Amino acid sequence: MFQYQTRPYYDVPRPSELDPMNQHKAEYDRAFRLFRRQRTRGLINRIWSKITSKCCCLMHLSKVADSFSHSGGSYKGIKPVQIDRIQGSENRTTDLDNQFHPLREGARDRWMRISVLMMVGEPLPAVELIQVGDDYFVRDGHHRISAARALGLKHIDAEVTAWQPQNHELSLAG
């Protein structure tokens, strides 16, 4: 017949040790399909940019940083930010396109974990953004923004630091 084996109680994994992907199989499957779709859209966006000669890359913060004072900036706190106003990145402009579609397959596992956590309502840390004028640039939280956008969220909680325009007249007068 078949043998019934018992495992000692200390060998049974605790709920906190279980893989969250096994607990949320439907969400994991949805996240996988969503990542594939977003990655495909990113590749199509790249091809379209080659055809139209328009850049589809995230704007790099250094392109606008020269006209703004960024010695620490002023801390604005944690607040909801409209995802469509996030225009670029401080340092990760090659990992995502300007629509925050993932461009690298290596981002899949992290992107999917974040997606699943968002789907099941787990709290995630606020992303870190730098506000330059009316636009925002990502310091930390690229995958969270990408997943939130793919899931159709319009706002994301962000810890915001604002950079102010430099006043060139004051520096010339001194």
In a domain, 137, yes or no: yes
In a domain, 1, yes or no: no
Question: Higher pLDDT residue, 68 or 128?
Answer: 128
> For residue 42, what are the domain limits?
15-173
Of the candidates 33, 87, 35, 83, the residue with the CA atom closest to the CA atom of residue 56: 87
In a domain, 133, yes or no: yes
Question: What's the pLDDT tens digit per position in 30-39?
Answer: 999 999 999 9
The interaxial angle of helices 25-52 and 108-119, nearest 10 deg, is: 120
In a domain, 8, yes or no: no
In a domain, 5, yes or no: no
In a domain, 52, yes or no: yes
Question: Higher pLDDT residue, 58 or 112?
Answer: 112
Question: What's the pLDDT tens digit per position in 84-141?
Answer: 999 888 887 778 888 889 988 888 889 999 999 999 988 899 999 999 888 899 999 9
CATH code of the domain covering residue 126: 3.90.1530.10
Q: How many Cα atoms are found within 13 Å in the side-chain-facing hemisphere of 41? A: 16
∠154-162-149 over CA atoms, to 5°?
20
In a domain, 10, yes or no: no
In a domain, 32, yes or no: yes
Question: How many independent structural domains does the chain possess?
Answer: 1
The torsion angle over the Cα atoms of residues 148, 138, 127 and 19, rounded to 10 degrees, is 60
pTM of the entire structure?
A: 0.76
String of DSSP letters for 49-107? HHHHT---BPEETHHHHTTEEEEEEEEEEEEEEEGGGEEEESS-TTTBBTT--B--GGG
